[in-house]
Amino acid sequence: MCTEWQSWRTGEAGHELGHEAVGIVVDAAQSTRLKVGDRVIAMPHWGCGKCQACRSGEHIHCTEQRDLLAETGSSCGLGGYAQYLLKPDYLLYPVPDDISTDHAAMALCALGPSFTAIERMQVSAADTVLVSGCGAVGLGAIVNARTIGARVIALELNPYRIELARALGAERVLDPLAPNLVDQIRALTSGYGVDAAIETSNNEAAPPVVLELVRPRGRLSFVTWSGALPVNRITGKGLDIFGSWHWNHDRLGTQMMQRVRDARPLLDLLATHRFALDEVSEAFALQETGRCGKVLLYPNGGQS
């Protein structure tokens, strides 16, 4: 489960909920890549598979998304909160036998966006990484950074998520509203600032604050859709800026599967709650409180 609870909170109707899923192929149609019984990660969206973005594995950025309902004549099948899901085979990544279904599910929005951010920023064990916001994506960023040995400082207000961030390996979790936040970060980084930062909070006010916590010639990634940056500060600090929506399963699938293997103990902490599909309303209510990490939803009522 990802951000669908926000529509639930505002009362918006939706019959195609869910954009991240792991499942078993029950009908392979004419696919030559997959067969019935294969466990697969279903990547978000429905890229055309033909454009330059899709040919380079960046299906998430395809501007000509396929209309699968029109193609198949089905009235449903696009949402992951369901027993069955329609997907082009090139958007399905086989799950290795040694990785559990629950752990494979973490390769989607839990790890995926920040995996790309860390890869594009070339973060290493020598870096100090700031994670802004400790929702499920931010907590996944902590897991990604700690699994490769980087030092992590996080920003969060929710007490439950502060404790979970610490359990996942954040060295310090600071109040993002603290008036002396810049001074606190400088004190923790020899007066210089963090090497890299990942903004996940989706708070309109966060981007310019996070920018000031990064050292000169540092790196800043956004896994978010809100806020703005002052161009003069980007240029003045010489920062590299990245937008990271999801991960490239064609190019980086092997590396992601190894990240999942390496992170398994932390992933068990990150997935804090599990619900059956008919308990989805209770799951949404829990997510609204913020007292959870990643939440897993099981369409057949039981756990994997």
Same domain assignment for residues 12 and 105: yes
pLDDT, mean of residues 270-275: 97
117 and 239 part of one domain: yes
Retrieve residue 282's tokens.
């209770």
Percent with pLDDT over 90 in the chain: 93
Shared-domain flag, residues 164 and 256 = no
Domain range for 15: 5-109+247-298
Say how far apart CA 136 and CA 270 lie, in whole Å. Answer: 8
Do 36 and 95 reside in the same domain of the chain?
A: yes
Residues 103 and 224 reside in one and the same domain: no
Reply yes or no on whether the pLDDT at 141 is more than 70.
yes
> Is the model's pTM score more than 0.75?
yes
The tokens for 79 are: 């949402």
**What is the crossing angle of helices 136-147 and 112-121, to 10°?**
50
- The count of domains in the chain is 2
Average pLDDT over residues 140-169: 98
Q: What is the mean pLDDT of residues 129-155?
A: 98
Assess whether 225 and 131 both reside in one domain: yes
CB atoms within 10 A of CB 124: 12
Q: Is the pLDDT higher at 7 or at 91?
A: 91
| Average pLDDT over all residues of the chain | 95
pLDDT for the residue numbered 49: 96
DSSP 48: -
Q: Which DSSP symbol is given to 136?
A: H
Strand order from edge to edge, sheet including 194-199: 172-174, 151-155, 128-132, 194-199, 214-222, 240-243
Give the pLDDT score at 301. 65
SS3 category, 252: helix
Q: Are 205 and 266 in the same domain?
A: no
**Shortest CA distance to 219 belongs to which of 133, 145, 270, 136?**
145
Instruction: Give counts: helices (H), strands (E), the chain.
Output: 13, 11
Long-range contact pairs involving 162-169 (C-beta distance under 8 Å, separation at least 24): 162/134, 164/134, 164/139, 164/269, 164/270, 164/272, 164/293, 165/131, 165/134, 165/138, 165/139, 167/269, 168/139, 168/142, 168/143, 168/266, 168/269, 168/270, 169/142, 169/143, 169/145, 169/266
Element (H, E) at 122: none
Per-residue pLDDT tens for 117-134? 999 999 999 999 999 999
Quote the pLDDT of residue 303.
57
Judge whether residue 77 has pLDDT over 90. yes
- Asked if the model's pLDDT at residue 302 lies above 80, the reply is no
CA 99 to chain centre: 19
Q: Token match 């902490």: residue?
A: 269
